[in-house]
Amino acid sequence: MTTEQYLERWRAEDAITSEQATVLTALVRKERFSVFLELNALLYLGVVLFAGGLGWTVREHFANLGDPAIIVSLAAVFAGCMYYCVTRAAPYSTGLVASPSFAFDYVLYLGCLVFAVELGYLQVRFQMLQVNWDAYLLASAALYFALAYRFDNRFVLSLGLSTLAAWFGVRFSYLGFFITRTPREIALAYGAVVAFGGLWTHRLGLKTHFLETYLHVAVNAVLIALVSGAIAADSPEPWLIALLVASAVAVERGIRFKRFAFVVYGVVYGYVGISAQVVRGMHGDTAILSYFIVSGLAVVVGLVVMSRKVGREE
């Protein structure tokens, strides 16, 4: 029997109502389809472009507009976004909270981006904190984390994590923590801190669904640092070994917890690190091209097969 025949039988047996049968039949026939992802992507792109346009306008026309007009205008947009969110948000909960409207998350994200533009403008124009300007980054990250947890927004959480990464780079360089004059050690430290923060808040029961966002950022930071060491370090062997171990852990954890993105991270970063070492010992463009064609195809086929397996288990 076809799906439509099943629906008709269920309707005849009063297992579902006529209205439900009509809706489900339309979905089966593909007369209706979801554009949820497309609309979200357009909204996200629109918010980013709007904030980028604000930043460009401020940079190019600040002399004509004047400091008061720019500061007050940006503050008004930020305040308007925060007012919209505060007046429409559901009460705070440590668990998952659904957005009250389709545009809610994007209004909040826009407010955060406008706040970043204004803070950057204040620093460039007035340099109130002088050499300690990275405190702006830390303050911004703290605000983004607070808003992310209050309004249950992963966009803003990601923004907070990226801002924290920027603060790590600036502050640690000031303190002279660059052991090899590269940011690899900072990236490793940042990844460890982010992973610990995600696991700690998960253990406390605070927005446990945020853990995956923390781990996505932490895993990428650590694997990028290890790949950099395996490719560019003076002694790449220890970095390559660490990369292969970390990649194997990412693949194993991804399979075990049915998170295919982590499998991809482990396979792709591991492949890049191994390929860097293999290519060093090869001579001739033909050999190098043949290696990448064969190995790249093998990696793609392996990921496709693995995705089907993980998908079926999910």
- For 206-218, what is each residue's pLDDT tens digit? 999 999 999 999 9
What's residue 176's pLDDT? 57
Q: Which tokens is 255 given?
A: 């399979």
- Name the pTM for this structure: 0.80
Q: Do residues 268 and 204 share a domain?
A: yes
Angle at CA of residue 34, ends 31 and 40, nearest 5°: 155
Low-confidence ranges of the chain (pLDDT < 70): 1-2, 4, 6-7, 10, 23-41, 43-44, 63, 129, 131, 173-182, 311-314
Q: Do residues 125 and 10 share a domain?
A: no
Name the residue range of residue 22's domain: 1-33
What's residue 263's pLDDT? 93
165 burial class (0-12, 13-18, 19+ CB within 10 angstroms)? buried
What's residue 180's pLDDT? 45
What's residue 213's pLDDT? 94
Q: Do residues 177 and 99 share a domain?
A: no
Residue 197 lies in a domain: yes
| Separation CA 294–CA 299 (nearest Å) | 9
What's residue 83's pLDDT? 96
> pLDDT, tens digit, for every residue of 118-167?
888 888 888 776 767 788 889 999 999 999 999 999 989 999 999 999 88
Residue 166 lies in a domain: no
What's residue 272's pLDDT? 94
Q: Do residues 29 and 43 share a domain?
A: no
What's residue 22's pLDDT? 74
Number of structural domains, the chain?
Answer: 3
Residue 164 lies in a domain: no
Q: Do residues 191 and 314 share a domain?
A: yes
What's residue 101's pLDDT? 86
What's residue 24's pLDDT? 67
Q: Do residues 61 and 149 share a domain?
A: yes
Q: Which tokens is 277 given?
A: 């070492």
Name the residue among 137, 117, 125 with its Cα closest to residue 53: 117
| Separation CA 5–CA 55 (nearest Å) | 57
Q: Do residues 182 and 299 share a domain?
A: yes
